[in-house]
Amino acid sequence: MNNFSNSFSRRNFLAGASSLGALYAASRFALPLPALAAPLIDDPRIAPQPIADKGFASIRKIGNGLYATIADRSKGLQARCNGGFLIGRDAAIMLEGFQTTLGSSFQLETLRSVTQIPIRAAINTHWHFDHTLGNSVYGGAGIPVWAHADVPARIAAYYPKWQAQDLNTYLAPWQKRVADAKSDSQREHAKSDIEGLSGMFVPVSQTVLALPNHLLDPAKMPMEIDLGGLTVVVEHYIGHTDTDLIFRVPDQNIIYTGDLLTGGQYPVNINGYPTKWRETVAKFATFDKNTLFVPGHGQIMGQEGVAEMRSCFDDVAEQAEKSYKAGVPVEDAAERYVVPEKFKNYRMFSWGFTITRTYEQFYAEWSGKPVKILNYS
Ligand SMILES: [Zn+2]
């Protein structure tokens, strides 16, 4: 866990802000990427040095023919998500399109510095902007872009619409929530939603979209990709979105999970299915104890990282359940969620899209009402 107590800039910042606003703002600080967790420090699969490092992301070997691209958002959002590439005897695949073409170019160039082998595909783990906006680099290089069959439709349903809008129009209903806030805490939470939404809208508005052109049917999964001496198994789980794919290399106990698994942040539930998501992460916990996970965001992790994410999700669910049973209306309950000490340095995409949306979905489920999904615009 990171400790900012010596940070000069934060001290100054705190001195000038209201205590509540400061508390919330501190939780959104771009924390430096944490070091590998203790159980992984001596893991012989993980190379101690990266083969390439741009600051905003670095790429290191994590297995035989396997590389992880790890983003460090404290140094820039060009990549924003993690990714990687997998190289067999006959072909390679790459994972993720990142938030910008700088992220995808970095990964492609680094792969090309390792091998000139044919690249069979660049694969998006799900449809979100920070995993797909750099896809055009792959298209321009003649590399097919693969994804879950619903990814193009999800992208097409949202991002072109935003591109036809301006930021102020898009944010107007959310600005109104700030203006109408009944308490300081509600106002700070509403402001955090504006920050989160702007952080999606702006990169989307600056990008020429490139949709996946090779669609993977979830009904045909698990699906094997044979790269020659390296077999990758693709599986579909519902959780963070309804298009999530994971990539397992069973021979080496290594898994790339996309955002079904993340480190150092509250589960981002913009388009999620929290109950199914918790079941999916619980399933990860049953995988071999020496499994190495490349999460969608955060540091490479082992089962200790899976356990930590589960405990964060459990905390949200437990506090929501207490309020539900006490008859607290959902809007008030979500405002009252208390970030426990052990997650105080966890990043929050925004309050509304981590806490409130998750509470709303749990409440709906517990009371037998339909659970709203894709409803953030
Ligand atoms: Zn995502």
Q: Give tens-digit pLDDT for 215-236.
A: 999 999 999 999 999 999 999 9
Using the mean position of ligand 1's atoms as its centre, give its distance from the Cα of residue 97 in Å: 12
CB-based contact 90:117 (threshold 8 Å):
yes
Q: Give tens-digit pLDDT for 322-345.
A: 999 999 999 999 999 999 999 999
Closest CA to 105 of 134, 125, 142, 84: 134
Using the mean position of ligand 1's atoms as its centre, give its distance from the Cα of residue 89 in Å: 31
Strand order across the 119-123 sheet? 52-53, 57-63, 66-71, 83-87, 92-95, 119-123, 145-148, 214-216
Tokens 């001596």 belong to which residue? 42
Q: Give tens-digit pLDDT for 287-302.
A: 999 999 999 999 999 9
Using the mean position of ligand 1's atoms as its centre, give its distance from the Cα of residue 365 in Å: 22
| Residue 23 predicted with pLDDT over 60 | no
Using the mean position of ligand 1's atoms as its centre, give its distance from the Cα of residue 253 in Å: 24
| Residue 364 predicted with pLDDT over 60 | yes
Using the mean position of ligand 1's atoms as its centre, give its distance from the Cα of residue 308 in Å: 19
Q: Give tens-digit pLDDT for 236-261.
A: 999 999 999 999 999 999 999 999 99
pLDDT band with cut points at 50, 70 and 90 for residue 371: confident
Q: What pLDDT is recorded for position 370?
A: 81
Using the mean position of ligand 1's atoms as its centre, give its distance from the Cα of residue 73 in Å: 15
Using the mean position of ligand 1's atoms as its centre, give its distance from the Cα of residue 245 in Å: 11
Cis preceding linkage at 212, omega within 30? no
Using the mean position of ligand 1's atoms as its centre, give its distance from the Cα of residue 130 in Å: 7
Using the mean position of ligand 1's atoms as its centre, give its distance from the Cα of residue 18 in Å: 31
Using the mean position of ligand 1's atoms as its centre, give its distance from the Cα of residue 306 in Å: 17
Query: What residue spans of the chain are helical by DSSP H?
Result: 8-15, 19-27, 101-114, 129-132, 135-140, 151-163, 167-179, 184-205, 274-284, 303-325, 330-335, 351, 357-366
| Mean pLDDT (whole number) for 341-366 | 95
